[in-house]
Amino acid sequence: MMVYVHLIFLSIFLPASVISESYDAIEGEALVVRCPNNDLSAKVTWYHTDTRKRIPEEEEGSRVFSKEMFLWFLPTSLEDSGNYTCLINYPDGSQKGRKMNVQVHPCKQGMCFPSRILYANETRKGKISCPTFKNYENATIVQWYKDCKPLQGERYFMHDPYIFIENLNKEDDGYYTCRFTYTHRGRVFNVSATRIFISEEKHSSLPVQILFPKDEDVIEVELGAAFSLKCQARLGIKKQPVAVVTWDVNKMPAEYADEGKINQEVIYFEGEHQEFYGEATLTISNIEHTDLQSSFSCVAMNEMGNTRITVTLRLKEKCPQ
């Protein structure tokens, strides 16, 4: 009976679009996801959001398991990517659900950190903390990197979970990756996490990154129906002097497309950690066969340069009768 009660609360507290936090990890490393709950007296239960299947506590040989407010992946696998729910049961009988997104990136030769950076930092103090480090007990940082190059020199002083930088200058801005080891039941796991460091409180451009959709995606549509294509790109830290996110249709700007049928709306906004984003929405009022033969390219640009991805459309397959 308690399981069904939990599922009822999950449907109440977890709208499909609400993500409390996101975690990125590299395939084959350890990952600990923390439920955002500050009440230590509350009981936390973990679920697979899509299947509503409960994640049990650790058993001998478990790879994915729950332990109080933590969800463990020892180690991660590509199949772990998805949404997870922690259901918080408070002593007064009330409940709250939080949805966490996990994205496991393939381990590629020469890759220093996942392409999606979620841990942003803006400071003048010259102290950079290692993201997620405190979720692991008895962890030890092995090496710090800046833009994938090992940090060395008298200007850098490491004291877990921080690295301190003396005599800051603009060249210190960039991506900082900490790599550390974590030992569990005699097994040693590697962990890496990256954050952005900005030495001055002003805008800083980053290499343009289109977050979605992915290049060469094929998107299903229905003939005669209206459809919207969204493209979101990260352009830097704080408002950018050069910021463009827009759609091209068949290599022509969207504004030159069929005006009565295709429209575009663009917005720009700052994220939780002052990341600056642009989002372009291309709306097609009526999908026709000609649209299935068209290419749709999202173009994003800032001071550092530009990038583009291209997607195509296809008819949604009908379910067999």
pLDDT tens digits for range 161-199: 999 988 877 788 888 899 999 999 899 999 988 888 876
Q: Is residue 7 very low, low, confident or very high in pLDDT (cuts 50, 70, 90)?
A: very low
Which tokens is 244 given? Answer: 């463009």
Strand-pair partners of 191: 180
pLDDT computed for residue 8 by the predictor: 43
| CA–CA distance, 298 with 279 (Å, rounded to integer) | 10
pLDDT at residue 257, as a whole number: 79
> What pLDDT is stored for residue 106 in this prediction?
84
Q: Which pLDDT does position 246 carry in this prediction?
A: 93
Mean pLDDT across 137-144: 90
pLDDT in tens, 85-96: 999 999 888 888
What is the 8-class DSSP label of residue 294?
-
The CATH topology of domain 119-201 is: Immunoglobulin-like (2.60.40)
Q: Among 3.30.9.10, 3.40.190.10, 3.40.50.720, 2.60.40.10, what is the CATH number of 2-105?
A: 2.60.40.10
Q: What is the mean pLDDT of the chain?
A: 84
Locate CATH 2.60.40.10 in the chain.
Answer: 2-105, 119-201, 205-315
* Residue 120: per-residue pLDDT: 62
296 against 113, higher pLDDT: 296
Task: Quick: pLDDT tens for 246-265.
Answer: 999 988 888 777 767 999 99
Q: From residue 319, how far is each of 198, 241, 292, 316 by CA, in Å?
A: 51, 49, 20, 9
The predicted pLDDT at position 200 comes to 61
54-63, 78-87, 120-129, 280-289: least confidently modelled range: 120-129
pLDDT of residue 32 exceeding 90, the answer is yes
What CATH topology corresponds to 205-315? Immunoglobulin-like (2.60.40)
6 alpha carbon, distance to own chain's centre:
27
Higher pLDDT, 71 or 302: 71
Q: End-to-end CA distance of the chain: give it in Å, rounded.
A: 36
Closest CA to 162 of 182, 152, 176, 149: 176
pLDDT value, residue 11? 46
Kindly list the strands in the beta sheet with 119-122, ordered across the sheet, starting from the edge strand earlier in the chain. 119-122, 187-198, 174-184, 140-146, 149-150
Which of 27-31, 242-246, 253-257 is predicted least confidently? Answer: 253-257
- pLDDT band at residue 297, thresholds of 50, 70 and 90? very high
